[in-house]
Homo-oligomer: A and B are copies of this chain.
Amino acid sequence: MSVVWFNSEFLYDTLPLDPADRGLMLGDGLFETIAVAGGQAIWLNEHLARMATSAAELGISCDEADLRVSISKVLKRSSAAHEVLRITLTRGVTQRGLAADAHHSSLLMSLLPFDPAQQPQILTLATSKIRRNETAPSSQYKTLSYIDNVAAAREVKGKADDALMLNSSGHVACSTVGNVFYLKYDELVTPAVGHGILPGITRAKILENPSLKARQDFVTVDDLYTADAVFLTNSLRLVTPITKLDDKAIGTKSVQHIKDYLKGLAP
């Protein structure tokens, strides 16, 4: 069973979208994907803060108080132990012209069952030919303009579980669905904001945790090959060890070692 919300009410059928809504016309909007456990949205404040900050940068209206009211109504219909809440916020409808302003944004939410036990326990990566663009909103914010990630994921389909994306200078940025960390000499390293990455919420939790000794720095492909361990983070899977990059093994430490190292991270 899925729950869908549009603007100020529950939906039981298709979405009555204005055909000119810029979310559909121009990928002009933002989204968040939030883990829900026992009807509680995990790290909700952090997700909403990220959405509000990105919306302000892009000039999309985002009323956080209104959002919270809608989210609480949706979460009251939670019906599974584990679910995923997707929040989609578009700029709304404007006059012609890319720079035109909207009177109000459009809000779409869905709450879907999600089984953590069915998620992969390890991942393999293959490097995409598509680079992340450090100067572009589509690489800096979690926008609806996601086609470069879609194309990168399709490019490596059948070769690996996900694509590793480098940035325009050839440094490691991220995968299509998560941030990348490597562990070496008991220190964690991840590419910095500004290297073409989305500032992930799980990533921030690791960086904020002093016991994990994590820092942001330039990361090369060679750093990944010579690391003790490499893993991916995102809000749904938290931490997933990466065992291969372009068909070559990476990481000498066991998956259990990574899990033990990151113990205490779970919300």
Counting chain A residues whose Cβ lies within 8 A of the other chain, the interface size class is 35 or more
A22 to B16, CA, bound (A): 16
Asked whether A27 is an interface residue with its Cβ less than 8 Å from the other chain, the reply is yes
Interchain CB contact under 8 A, A28 and B146? yes
Which residues of chain A from 51 to 96 have a CB within 8 Å of any chain B CB? 58-59, 86, 88, 90-91
Asked if A266 is an interface residue, CB under 8 A from chain B, the answer is no
Q: Which residues 106-146 in A have Cβ within 8 Å of B in the complex?
A: 108, 110, 129-131, 133, 135-138, 143-146
Complex Cα–Cα for A147 and B137 (A):
7
Q: Which residues of B contact A110 (CB under 8 A)?
A: 19-20
Asked if B98 contacts A177 (CB within 8 A), the reply is yes
Cβ-defined contact, A19 with B150, below 8 A: no
Min Cβ gap A59→B in Å is 6
**Chain B contacts for A168, CB-based, 8 A:** 131, 133, 168
Complexed CA–CA distance, A92 and B86 (Å): 18
* Interface status of A211 (Cβ within 8 A of chain B): no
B149 adjacent to A98 (CB under 8 Å): yes
The stretch of A151-159, A220-228, A253-261 that contacts the partner chain: A151-159
Give the complex CA separation of A32 and B108 in angstroms. 26
A186 at the A/B interface (Cβ < 8 Å)?
no
Q: In this complex, what residue of B is CB-closest to A14?
A: B16
- A158 to B, closest residue via Cβ: B99
Instruction: Say whether A1 faces chain B, with CB atoms less than 8 Å apart.
Output: no
**Using Cβ atoms and an 8 Å threshold, which residues of chain B touch A157?**
99
Residues of A bordering B, CB below 8 Å: 4, 6, 11, 13-29, 31, 58-59, 86, 88, 90-91, 97-99, 108, 110, 129-131, 133, 135-138, 143-151, 153-154, 156-157, 168, 176-177
**Can you name 9 A-B residue pairings with CB atoms under 8 Å?**
A15-B24, A27-B143, A27-B147, A29-B147, A99-B156, A133-B133, A133-B136, A133-B148, A138-B138
**7 additional contacts (CB under 8 A) given A6-B19, A15-B15, A27-B145:** A15-B24, A26-B149, A28-B146, A28-B147, A98-B150, A130-B136, A145-B146
